[in-house]
Amino acid sequence: MAKSIVIEAKKVSKTFKLQGQEIQVLKDINVSVHSGEYVMFYGASGCGKSTLLNVICGLEPPTEGELIVRGESLYGKSQHDITEYRRSKIGIVFQQFNLLKSLTIQENVALPLAAGGENFKRRMDRAAHLLEMVGLTKFLRRRPPELSGGQQQRVAITRALATNPWIIVCDEPTGNLDSRSADEVMAIIERLNSKSKRTVLMVTHNPEYLHFPNRIVYLKDGQVDKEVTNREVTAEAEKTNEKLDLDLRDLLRDKEEK
Amino acid sequence: MKFYDIIALSWKNLMANKMRSLLTITGISVGIATIVFLVSLGYGLQALSIRKITAISSLTTLDVTPAQDSIEITDSVLKDFAKIDKVEKVSPLLSFAGQVTDADKKTDVVAYVVDKDYLGLQGSKTEFGGLFTKDDQIVLSSGVAKALSLEAQDLVSNKITFTGYTADKDGTLIKNEGEYTVAGIIDDTSSAFAYVPISSNFVTASTAYNSVKVKVTDTNALASVKEAVQSKGFKASSIADTISQVYQIFSIIQIVLASFGIIALFVAAIGMFNTMTIALLERTRDIGIMKAIGVRNSTVRAIFLTESFMISFLGGFCGALSGILFAQFINWVINILAKSVGGQAEKLFYTPMPIVLAIVVFSLVVGVITGFYPAKRASKLNPLEALRYE
Ligand SMILES: Nc1ncnc2c1ncn2[C@@H]1O[C@H](COP(=O)(O)OP(=O)(O)OP(=O)(O)O)[C@@H](O)[C@H]1O
Ligand SMILES: [Mg+2]
């Protein structure tokens, strides 16, 4: 059956100018991500993984080529629309957690909702609800520096889920974590894909996690080296992901079963 | 993002670095307090001087003197003046040398022969006792009491002897002596003078008075009466003229005082600009994070502007308040000192509320202007570069 493509990089190239010198970081990248799919980008340091994710997240316009999101060219849109895309259509998880230290955990998670004008009670309730699912209810009023790395990364994942986006983009989310916390975080993301049917784009260095995704895109020197498919996306996952407004009950259920 | 949420975020940012926010707010406060204090002092001194110069009735009074030696103020001239339209009262003054004798002590004084209205028209006030109402009463200055080595209040109601030396038309000296009761003392220790009622044989029909006070019905009549008097060959000036000069002088003093305050505020504004710029650098990463997760550029700018608005509002408010309180405090201290050396309590500071409001608004404007550039820079930051910032 024909898979529905949610994101498609078409001949994406990115060149940086550094002190008059041009560095080509991405060369002619063609990648499509299917609805409900878990795609992992794998490759040596400096091969352009983060740059590609940034292009996908609407943070870095490509020098050439196009990024098609559900049939529309993202960078053809206004700055305003691109910001709104980052806020509500994708959830980004960074290696450095990137939480605001002046806000509490709950406020951090509620921030993308506040940015969208959601009222105080509704967004704080949702933040509390999401934080409960990742087992952080006790820490609602704490500030990020008072939490362990693993806990902070779980907060960051929760924040990425706040607006109920259909794609979760993670750039080395385990890079700053010990192996146990890393496994926990990877398990949460795996469940996000398998139970909650989120499309997941993941960059990692760790070969142990290569069995998680549906598909692995190997990058080398800014080019797609090869693609390996572990297993096809199930038709059910694809269909569920089409419905944008999922809630996360499945993730919660999984937590309770444990 | 909702306006209320922007305010809440800005407030949290301020609270995130309490010490720095406090210092910046203090800086603005000091600038504003200085302006409020100095302007209050200017207004206070102005009001005080005007209070000292005048009583209300003297505002409608013209002081008339001959414009040249050949013209004299005689009884017929006084009658002439009284006939001018809108003139209410005419009250002449004659001054000559005299002596006051109390028991065995004697002192020279400058004597002013005036009628009962004159002192009221002049706006004179007695420190002890009152103005004279009868022909056998006299008003002295506290300088007389000093010369007689008496306490001013002890002199009130005393019977004294006054000797006046007036000159005749052809220059012969006429000595005139009489018993008077001291009705009141005017506070002026630096000079010895006496006000003597006019019907005391010091004047004749041909007496040339030194000056005359012409009271008009209301201030609007001042100009026309002044013109009429001048056309008869006399000089006429009113306290209203003096007061407008005082206002002029004080408006210059105000400007000078306010400039000092503005310099203080300018220094504070530079401090604030510095704070906002440092806050921008310090929060570069946070700005990157906010933008990356979908906070709009305009929201980021609004957060920074709100923050500088808050700083300048708090600074302006606290500054205005402490400026007023400090002025009151200094006034209190000065009055205590003044009273301890026998002086009078005075109101040295006067703070007009519209001016305070204007100063606070001014501080807000300064705040928003200094916050404008950092806010604009924050809104222009590239999120990825901001995230890379350490
Ligand atoms: N803004 C920039 N200006 C100049 N060069 C850049 C910029 N961003 C990235 N690069 C360069 O592009 C190349 C790819 O960077 P990128 O961060 O995408 O690599 P990566 O695959 O994510 O590496 P890692 O696994 O170490 O995170 C690197 O050589 C980097 O130096
Ligand atoms: Mg990277």
pLDDT digits (tens, 9 = 90+) for B304-337: 999 889 988 999 999 999 999 999 999 999 988 8
Closest CA to A29 of A56, A69, A1: A56
Ligand 1 atom closest to Cα of A52?
18
**Which residues are in the CB-under-5-Å shell of ion ligand 2?**
A 50
Q: What percent of chain B has pLDDT over 90?
A: 23
The predicted pLDDT at position A31 comes to 95
Structural domain includes residue A70: no
Q: What is the pLDDT of residue A236?
A: 66
Q: Which chain A residues have a beta carbon less than 8 Å from that of B1?
A: 114-117
Confidence tier at B72 by pLDDT (50, 70, 90): confident
From chain A, which residues contact B within 8 Å (Cβ)? 54, 57, 59-60, 79-80, 83-88, 92, 94, 98-103, 111-112, 114-117, 119-120, 159-160, 163
pLDDT at B344 over 90: no
Choice from A12, A19, A21, A49 to test ligand 1 binding pocket (greatest atom count within 8 A of CB): A49
Most confident among B138-152, B205-219, B322-336 (mean pLDDT): B322-336
DSSP letter, residue A209: G
Q: Which amino acids bring their CB within 6 angstroms of ligand 1?
A: A 16, 18, 23, 25, 45-51
pLDDT tens, position by position, B275-296? 778 888 888 999 999 999 999 9
Give the domain range for residue A147: 37-62+79-244
Report yes or no on A91 lying in a domain.
yes
Cα–Cα distance measured from residue A54 to residue A92, given in angstroms and rounded to the nearest whole number: 10
Q: Is A13 within the bounds of a domain? A: no
Residues A130, A162: contact at Cβ < 8 Å? yes
With pLDDT > 70 as the criterion, what percentage of chain B qualifies?
97
Q: Is residue A7 part of a domain?
A: no
Q: Is residue A169 part of a domain?
A: yes
Closest CA to B293 of A108, A79, A53: A108
CA A26 to ligand 1 centroid distance, Å: 10
**Residue A215 within any structural domain of the chain:** yes
Report the pLDDT averaged over residues B10-24. 89
CA of A14 to the centre of ligand 2 (A): 15
A149-161 and A105-115 helices cross at what angle (nearest 10)? 20
Q: Percent helix, strand and coil across chain A, each rounded to 5?
A: 40, 25, 35
Residue among B285, B294, B384 minimizing CB distance to A84: B294
Distance in Å, CA A49 to ligand 2 centroid: 6
d(CA B275, CA B374): 10
Residue with CA nearest ligand 1 atom 2: A16
* Confidence check: pLDDT of B268 > 80: no
| For ligand 1, atom 5: residue with the closest CA | A16
C-alpha A30/C-alpha A12 separation (Å) is 7
Q: Between the CA of residue B234 and those of B64, B70, B359, B382, what are the distances in Å?
A: 6, 11, 47, 81
Do residues B182 and B155 make contact, with C-beta atoms less than 8 angstroms apart?
A: yes
Contact indicator for B44, B348 with CB cutoff of 8 Å: yes
Asked whether the beta carbons of residue A115 and residue B289 sit closer than 8 angstroms, the reply is: no
Which of A238-242, B30-34, B106-110 comes out lowest in average pLDDT?
A: A238-242
A30 in Cβ contact with A84 (< 8 Å)? no
List residues bridging with B214 in a β-sheet. Answer: B62, B90
In this predicted structure, which of A24-38, A212-226, B193-207, B208-222 has the lowest mean pLDDT? B193-207
B46's enclosing H/E stretch is helix B18-53
**What CA–CA distance (Å, rounded) separates B33 from B147?**
46
Which residue from B15, B290, B292 is facing A59, i.e. has the nearest CB? Answer: B292
Domain coordinates in residue numbering, chain B: 3-54+245-388, 72-232
At B343 the pLDDT is: 72
pLDDT of residue A2: 52
pLDDT at position A253 is: 39
Interval B1-28 mean pLDDT:
89
Count structural domains, chain A: 1
Per-residue pLDDT of chain A (258 residues; tens, 9 = 90+): 456 889 999 999 999 998 889 999 999 999 999 988 999 999 999 999 999 999 999 999 999 999 999 888 999 999 999 999 999 999 999 999 999 998 999 999 999 999 998 889 999 999 999 999 888 999 999 999 999 999 999 999 999 999 989 899 999 999 989 999 999 999 999 988 888 888 999 999 889 999 999 999 999 999 999 999 988 877 666 665 544 344 444 443 344 333
Instruction: Classify burial at B198, counting beta carbons within 10 Å of its beta carbon; exposed 0-12, middle 13-18, buried 19 or more.
Output: buried
Task: Please judge whether A102 and B16 are an interchain contact, meaning their C-beta atoms are less than 8 angstroms apart.
Answer: yes
- CATH number for position A128: 3.40.50.300
**E strand segments, chain B:** 61-66, 87-102, 105-114, 126-129, 137-141, 159-167, 173-186, 193-197, 211-216, 234-238
Number of neighbours of residue B170 by Cβ within 10 angstroms: 5
Sign of CA pseudo-dihedral B112, B113, B118, B120: positive
Q: At what angle do helices B18-53 and B353-380 cross, to 10 degrees?
A: 150
Beta-carbon contacts of B353 under 8 Å, excluding residues fewer than 6 positions away, are: none
From chain B, pick out residues whose CB is under 8 angstroms from the CB of A54.
384
- Which residues share a beta bridge with B95? B112
**Ligand closest in space to the Cα of A219:** 1
SS3 assignment, position A182: helix
Q: By CB neighbour count within 10 A (0-12 exposed, 13-18 middle, 19+ buried), where does B184 fall?
A: buried
The reported pLDDT for the residue numbered B89 is 85
Question: Minimum mean pLDDT among B77-86, B183-192, B201-210: which range?
Answer: B201-210
CA angle (A162 as vertex; A158, A163 as ends), nearest 5:
150
ipTM, interface predicted TM-score of the complex: 0.90
Neighbours of B199 (CB within 10 A): 11
Predicted confidence (pLDDT) at residue B371 exceeds the cutoff of 70? yes
Residues B52-68 pLDDT 10s? 766 555 678 888 888 88
CB–CB of B89/B151 below 8 Å? no
Contact A188, A158 (CB under 8 A): no
Flag whether A1 is in a domain.
no
Question: What residues does B238 pair with on adjacent strands?
Answer: B62
Among the atoms of ligand 1, which is closest to the Cα of residue A222?
A: 14
Q: Which of B18, B289, B301 to mutate to test the interface with A (most CBs of A within 10 A)?
A: B289
Assess whether pLDDT exceeds 90 at residue B122: no
CA distance B367 to chain A (A): 23
